[in-house]
Amino acid sequence: MSDVLLVVVDAANVVGSVPDGWWRDRRGAAERLRDRLAADGVPRREGPAEIVLVVEGAARGVSSVPGVRVESAPGSGDDHMVELVAGAAGERPVLVVTADRELRRRVGELGAEVAGPRTVRP
């Protein structure tokens, strides 16, 4: 078992949590979130973390940077995040950042901790 925290970030949900014009440039908004995560990590969390930013739709194709792996969901972003959590369940601690109630329920059933978008937004 690894003690490195896996942080799975729901890009669409976190970006959409602040009405700052993100809808005009979804890809750019996801890149700004990625860059903030790379620079700041997950505030108020100690220890090493592997950050995975899951993008979908118009944000697909955003590239990874050192400190943040970006995964473009082939279909539903929620389903992809559940697959990531299921793959790590029982092997390491997992934190999923989203406000989506159904996604929170699904990953919670797999043992993940959940936190809202303010966890990674200023």
pLDDT tens across 105-120, in order? Answer: 999 999 999 999 999 9
In tens digits, the chain (122 residues) has pLDDT values of: 678 999 999 999 999 888 888 888 999 999 999 999 999 999 888 888 999 999 999 899 999 999 999 999 999 999 999 999 999 988 999 999 999 999 999 999 999 999 999 999 76
Instruction: For tokens 């700004």, name the residue.
Output: 32
Q: What is the pLDDT of residue 33?
A: 95
Q: What is the pLDDT of residue 95?
A: 96
Q: What is the pLDDT of residue 106?
A: 97
Q: Is the pTM of this model over 0.85?
A: yes
b vs e for 8-36, b when ≥16 Cβ sit within 10 Å of the residue's Cβ?
Answer: bbbbbbbbbbeeeebeeebeebbbebbee
Backbone angles phi, psi at 17, to 5 degrees: -80, -10
Three-class SS state of 52: strand
Q: What is the pLDDT of residue 122?
A: 66
Backbone angles phi, psi at 40, to 5 degrees: -105, -15
Q: Extract the tokens encoding 113.
A: 């901790």
